[in-house]
Structure 1
Amino acid sequence: MSHRNARLTVHARRLLVERVRSGFPVAHVAAQMGISRVTAHKWFRRWRQEGDAGLHDRSSRPHRTPRRTPAAREAQICSLRTSRKLGPARIGPILGMPPSTVHRVLTRHGLHRLSWMDRPTGRLIRRYERSRPGELVHIDVKKLGRIPDGGGWRVHGREGARAARPQSRRSTGYDYIHSAVDDHSRLAYSEVHPDEKATTCAGFLRRAAAHFATLGIDRIERVLTDNALSYRNSELWKQALTELGATGKRIRPYRPQTNGKVERFNRTLLDEWAYQRPYSSNAERTAALDNFLHAYNHHRCHTALAGQPPISRVNNAPGQYI
């Protein structure tokens, strides 16, 4: 696998082959390209044996691993993991194996993180990703307490907040953060509203589609939501879907993993916007949402996108990382 400072990429290897074929000695070509003669001979030999396919990187995995853990023992390890939720430190003594070997086997089968498993059944949660932007959009609503004027307990502390606002928390009320996340690119759009009624949800869907269109997602094909009444029994919601030419989909009850991309975005929304710093008013927090969304879509590195920002999945242009 080529690293960031590699002298020879696939294109450079083709250039090496072209220069040798044109009559230059291999030693001279190696000196020109800053590599050893052994390396130059290796790539030219691979090209003669395999053609252009031989210039691509190969897996470093060995062809045979005679000392690999037997399949029957690996099945025992996986069974203890899924049935009893045990870790390597406990599975190892039960089977008489080093915990490091048990961990390696669990990693091979994708069972080394309990968060990737459905706890009641022990089944591995299947991750999925749509193949193109706009094919599926996740939508969800996050309920968030409003901030009183002058700031809440994060500004004044618990006691100070009680003294400044002796009335009950119920009088402050809640904001409802409506969010839409594209399944393929992870592009996100959010709005703050005072409710989650059908009229609000339908309007948000139209504005989210218009916003995605400005970023290069011209059409939304499917919309995935939970089973809230605003999505399930609303003619206004169905009408908005029809206008966009989209199909509405709902998750199975009590299965938020299906809508996991927007659920994970909600966590990021809270950590990097809602609770990122103390706000002196609810309006100040709402005004900061646009800056967060721009940073998230255009600059923030995303681990599920190989360190690229979401906008790179739409126009294939990497952003400026922060």
Structure 2
Amino acid sequence: MAKVRYHFNTKSLKIEKVKVTFKQRFLRLLSVVATGMVFAAVVLLFAYNFIESPKERIMQREIDQYKLQFAILNDRLDKVQAVVSDLQDRDDNIYRVIFESEPIPSSVRKAGFGGTDRYAKLEGFRNSDIIVNTTRKLDVLTSQLYVQSKSFDEVFELAKRKEELIASIPAIQPVSNSDLRRIGSYFGYRTDPFYKVTKFHEGIDFTAPVGTDIYVTGDGVVTKVEYSRSGYGNCIVVNHGFGYETLYAHLSKMAVKKGQKVKRGQVIGFVGNTGKSTSPHLHYEVHKGGRAVDPINFFFNDITPEEYALMIELSQRPSQTLD
């Protein structure tokens, strides 16, 4: 049934009766409802995109906190990287120079981590750049610290070996000789006291009374304790390792046994006059790689540069050996 309504006609200036059908009322209602739904949808869409829910606010706070922690972590990683770089520099330019070892190649220190796909699983997120950057720094530091750790292991072994070498080198005089007056004959060509011909003297003769203490000049192992019929008389040979050997001849008595370990400065025997000898003295030799070398060059723990220069001058004067 149509509903009657009244409408003022502005043209005729009369109030006219208007019949509104059910269909018209339905369409009007539908229009109102549709407008309301559209408005509600717009409001909901705005709220969804621009108004945070309590849960979203909590999540955002957590994300902000993660970002802050990542920033702090990156700053710490940068500081650790600076320390590692300093260690690498010291390793290559100080420690390895001291121990005469080649520096670690840059290609080893800066070795990579596979291809670009290594970080692909970290891409595509809202903060992927932070995550990838931090992960890459950790990977680089992990690799560098591993290489540095292995390098320090090697340097430690070099240091131990250097310490052993320093202790083993025959670096002192085998008898007390603070005034340098006990050297009767030097290394080099000298006159043989028995045959009166010039022969190469492979050691130094230290004059001293019978029974004077003889000191081993470096750490090592005694390899010979014997009476030599070649002219050395009672003699001791010590192997110091690293290619060094020392010989002590014409002893009156030996104080060590073959195979015994000895330390620099330890008494190993006593001055005598055994074998081919003209008077009590110690004949002392240093061998490097099986070849006799001038013992004077190894007295750096015992003498000053001035005393060394005096020894060199005296060694160049003609003289006769004592054996």
TM-score using structure 2 length: 0.23
The structure that is strand-richer by fraction is: 2
